[in-house]
């Protein structure tokens, strides 16, 4: 498909006034409202055009492969003082579309010629084509019946939108010198759901993995994993790493330790409140800072990382990708979010965050006895920086509320 038509006699002043200035607010990263599935749209200026590219994970389970992308719409000047919006969805070339900027950090697209999305072979041909593009295979290649059901469900759900979508702005996470690794976007394996996009961000002694794309169990916008950086986990010797019971014992001991610490903090807060009500003196700011500094120094000593150590998954832990790294830099206690179909009965369950290198990490889901491998998305997205830490945190909260 030819994305960019030929142009002649176009004045840059007109391009700026009627194209770049008018649509400047839609540049950057966006998440479409497609139920639980979400997505990642990048709107960029490309020459004399503004193009919306939908970014797709590589085909399952090849998590280290580069991202795929396809155009959903483009805006350009067909006449000197009039911008034209074209839908790029389907396989019949560009056709008439519409964009409405709903409000700050939100816009919607509409296709005015959805017949261009239809294929001569009807829905069956559309499904086969979608399946080749989405999964890189045919339905006959997928033997798992549950996986077939999930794939068919996603096709039926997403194709009904016909590229008539609402998008909400998302930001890349802010960086800090204290971060364990550079935050950003990652591709991750999620069993029968295939590969999904997750945003890793750091919040003091916590790290969060937020789904940018999702599935009927855990929708886009939800916090799939939370890592407790204050509680490193020391794996057993390589001879015992294949023993799932040994790993479970270690993780559950840390879970109990975290529970006791949390309980102590809550009791301390309650005691402080009671003392304040009785008018007794509280620790001054200097004393609190000294206590905090002492605790921080102790934590830094405990968190000093040893050289890379051998790593192997315990027997019985399922992994979509057997080509995971065999050494890791650090492990931490964490929790993963699991739920029934339709995001029913969600609960956080214990697991292990495994840091392999600057661009890859994993998570062992203890209760599911499964392993997710994540690999960094190495794309330089423009106009995606959060204006402040507060704005980023507010964005995370908002996209989570949409699917709660």
Residue 6 has pLDDT above 50, yes or no: no
Long-range CB pairs of 221-224 (<8 Å, 24+ gap) are 221/31, 221/38, 221/399, 221/400, 221/401, 221/402, 221/403, 222/337, 222/343, 222/346, 222/400, 222/403, 222/404, 223/337, 223/400, 224/188, 224/198, 224/336, 224/337
- Say which residue, 387 or 269, is predicted with more confidence: 387
Phi, psi of 323 (to 5 degrees): -90, 50
Place 184 in a pLDDT band, splitting at 50, 70 and 90.
Answer: very high
Query: What does the pLDDT look like over 281-309, one tens digit per residue?
Result: 544 433 433 343 444 444 444 445 568 99
Looking up tokens 């919006």 gives 85
Looking up tokens 């975290």 gives 258
Q: What value does the mean pLDDT take over residues 259-269?
A: 86
Residue 112 has pLDDT above 70, yes or no: yes
Q: Which residues in 36-66 are b (16+ Cβ under 10 Å) and which e?
A: bbbbbbbbebeeebbbbbbbbbbbbbbbeee
Q: Torsion-angle region of residue 354: left (phi > 0), alpha (psi -120 to 50) or beta?
A: beta
For helices 122-135 and 145-159, angle between their N-to-C axes, nearest 10 degrees: 110
DSSP reduced 3-state for 367 = coil
DSSP reduced 3-state for 306 = coil
Give the range among 113-127, 270-284, 336-350, 352-366 with minimum mean pLDDT: 270-284
What pLDDT was estimated at residue 25? 94
What pLDDT was estimated at residue 267? 78
- 186 near 194, Cβ under 8 Å? no
- 159 near 182, Cβ under 8 Å? no
46 vs 94: CA distance, rounded Å? 16
96 vs 85: CA distance, rounded Å? 7
Q: What value does the mean pLDDT take over residues 324-329?
A: 96
Taking alpha carbons only, the member of 146, 154, 139 closest to residue 196 is: 154
What pLDDT was estimated at residue 396? 96
Please provide the average confidence, as pLDDT, over all residues in the chain. Answer: 89
Give the range among 128-142, 223-237, 240-254, 334-348 with minimum mean pLDDT: 128-142
Residue 92 has pLDDT above 50, yes or no: yes
Residue 272 has pLDDT above 80, yes or no: no
Q: What value does the mean pLDDT take over residues 89-109?
A: 93
Length of the chain: 404
Query: What does the pLDDT look like over 244-253, one tens digit per residue?
Result: 999 999 999 9
What pLDDT was estimated at residue 343? 96
125 vs 118: CA distance, rounded Å? 9
What pLDDT was estimated at residue 404? 72
Q: Which two tokens stand for residue 287?
A: 């004393």
Query: What does the pLDDT look like over 351-400, one tens digit per residue?
Result: 999 999 999 999 999 999 999 999 999 999 999 999 999 999 999 999 99
Q: Torsion-angle region of residue 114: left (phi > 0), alpha (psi -120 to 50) or beta?
A: alpha
User: pTM for the full model?
Assistant: 0.88
What pLDDT was estimated at residue 386? 95
Residue 280 has pLDDT above 70, yes or no: no
- Say which residue, 232 or 270, is predicted with more confidence: 232
Give the range among 213-227, 267-281, 387-401 with minimum mean pLDDT: 267-281
Cα Rg, the chain, nearest whole Å: 24
88 vs 247: CA distance, rounded Å? 50
Q: What value does the mean pLDDT take over residues 67-79?
A: 91
What pLDDT was estimated at residue 279? 61
Q: Which two tokens stand for residue 51?
A: 């193009």
277 vs 242: CA distance, rounded Å? 54
End-to-end CA distance of the chain: 39
360 vs 374: CA distance, rounded Å? 6
Place 82 in a pLDDT band, splitting at 50, 70 and 90.
Answer: confident
Helix H, strand E, coil C: the string for 11-58 is CHHHHHHHHHCCCHHHCEEEEECCCCCECEEEEEEECCEEEEEEEECC
62 vs 181: CA distance, rounded Å? 22
319 vs 325: CA distance, rounded Å? 13
């Amino acid at each position: 498909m030819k994305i960019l038509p030929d142009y002649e006699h176009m004045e840059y002043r007109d391009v700026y006034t009627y194209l770049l200035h008018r649509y400047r607010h839609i540049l950057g990263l966006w998440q479409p409202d497609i139920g639980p599935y979400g997505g990642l749209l990048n709107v960029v200026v490309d020459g004399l055009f503004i193009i919306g590219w939908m970014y797709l994970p590589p085909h399952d389970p090849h998590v280290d492969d580069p991202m795929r992308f396809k155009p959903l719409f483009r805006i350009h000047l067909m006449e000197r003082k009039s911008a034209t919006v074209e839908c790029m969805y389907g396989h019949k070339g560009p056709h008439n579309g519409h964009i409405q900027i709903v409000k700050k950090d939100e816009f919607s697209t509409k296709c005015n010629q959805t017949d261009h999305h239809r294929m001569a072979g009807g829905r069956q041909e559309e499904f086969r084509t979608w399946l080749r593009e989405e999964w890189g295979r045919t339905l006959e290649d997928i033997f798992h019946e549950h996986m077939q059901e999930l794939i068919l469900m996603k096709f039926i759900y997403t194709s009904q939108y016909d590229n008539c979508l609402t998008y909400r702005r998302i930001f890349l996470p802010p960086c800090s010198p204290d971060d364990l690794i550079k935050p950003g976007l990652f591709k991750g394996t999620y069993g029968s759901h295939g590969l999904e996009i997750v945003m890793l961000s750091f919040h003091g002694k916590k790290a969060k993995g937020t789904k940018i794309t999702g599935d009927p169990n855990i929708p886009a916008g939800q916090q799939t994993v939370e890592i407790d950086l204050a509680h490193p986990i020391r794996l057993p010797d390589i001879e015992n790493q294949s023993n799932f019971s040994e790993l479970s014992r270690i993780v559950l001991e840390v879970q109990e330790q975290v529970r006791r610490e949390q309980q102590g903090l809550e009791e301390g807060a309650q005691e402080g409140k009671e003392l304040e009500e009785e008018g007794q003196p509280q620790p001054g700011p200097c004393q609190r800072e000294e206590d905090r500094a002492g605790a921080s120094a102790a934590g830094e000593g405990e968190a000093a990382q040893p050289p890379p150590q051998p790593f192997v998954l315990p027997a019985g832990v399922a992994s979509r990708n057997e080509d995971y790294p065999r050494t890791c830099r650090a492990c931490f206690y964490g929790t993963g979010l699991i739920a029934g179909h339709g995001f029913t009965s969600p609960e956080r369950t214990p697991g292990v965050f495994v840091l392999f290198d600057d661009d890859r990490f994993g998570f062992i889901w203890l209760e599911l006895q499964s392993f997710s491998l994540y690999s960094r998305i190495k794309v330089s997205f423009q106009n995606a920086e959060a204006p402040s830490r507060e704005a980023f945190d507010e964005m995370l909260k908002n996209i989570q509320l949409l699917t709660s």
